[in-house]
Amino acid sequence: MKLIFATHNAHKVEELNQLLPDSIALLSLTDIGCNQEIKETGTTLEENAKIKADFIRQKYGLDCFADDSGLEIEALSGAPGVYSARYAGDQKNNEANIKKVWGELMGVKNTKAWFRTVFHVHFENKEYILKGQVEGSIIFEKRGNGGFGYDPIFVPKGYDKTFAELGKEVKNKIGHRALATQSLLKILSTQ
């Protein structure tokens, strides 16, 4: 089965490919030659996931899904949240995003945070909204080389290492995207 993953983020594609069986061929936007940036004008993860998935469904008429995800920090009222990729500006600079998080949390004791992901799925003329979330806390140094984005500063609950240190084995089990992918697999395999 071929399924389009409406993303330009190669890390997300890599994660999903590790979680899906070989019988599902995941095609990214790059794979289908769609180099256009889909404007994420929504104010929630749910809205942006829908915008990305609907765009591809309307343009190509194919089964597809999109992920919108972000880091939500309790003491910052859920920021950076839906703006995680562009927290420090439109250039989507990861270093700058992390520095901005540290700046905003300066002097704050509560470091509780969670990653949240929303998948919007178009499959066989039905739509599905799937979610995944993993709780943890923010640390004030970068640790580890795995993962992407905010992984080097995020320690999942029950662990003493960051997602970037723990690597794909752990993230593929307890990560927000892994949890949403389990729900996706159920949908794909029940059809």
17 exposure class (CB count in 10 Å sphere: 0-12, 13-18, 19+): middle
CB atoms within 10 A of CB 123: 16
Binders in 134-153 for ligand ITT, by CB under 6 A: 147-151
Write down the least CB distance from residue 79 to ligand ITT, Å: 12
Tell me, yes or no, if 68 is annotated catalytic. yes
Contacts of residue 127, defined as CB under 8 A and 6 or more positions apart, other chains included, come to 120, 121
| Total number of residues that touch ligand ITT (CB under 6 A) | 19
Write down the least CB distance from residue 151 to ligand ITT, Å: 4
Element (H, E) at 126: strand 126-138
Backbone angles phi, psi at 45, to 5 degrees: -60, -40
Applying CB under 6 A, among 51, 67, 73, 130 the residue interacting with ligand ITT is 67
Write down the least CB distance from residue 190 to ligand ITT, Å: 25
CB atoms within 10 A of CB 10: 11
Catalytic residue among 22, 54, 63, 68: 68
Applying CB under 6 A, among 65, 84, 114, 180 the residue interacting with ligand ITT is 84
Binders in 105-124 for ligand ITT, by CB under 6 A: 115
Q: Contact between 156 and ligand ITT (CB under 6 A)?
A: no
Residue-wise burial string across 23-33, b where 16 or more C-beta atoms lie within 10 A, e elsewhere: ebebbbbeebe
Nearest by Cα to 66 from 22, 9, 23: 9
| Omega of the bond leading into 80 within 30 degrees of 0 (cis) | yes
Q: Which residue is nearest to ligand ITT (CB)?
A: 149
Q: Which is nearer to ligand ITT, 63 or 154 (CB)?
A: 154
DSSP state of 157: T
Q: Which is nearer to ligand ITT, 22 or 95 (CB)?
A: 95
Mask 3-32, x = binds ligand ITT (CB under 6 A)?
----xxx--x--------------------
Which are the catalytic amino acids? 68
Contacts with ligand ITT by CB under 6 A lie at 7-9, 12, 40, 67-71, 84-85, 115, 147-151, 177
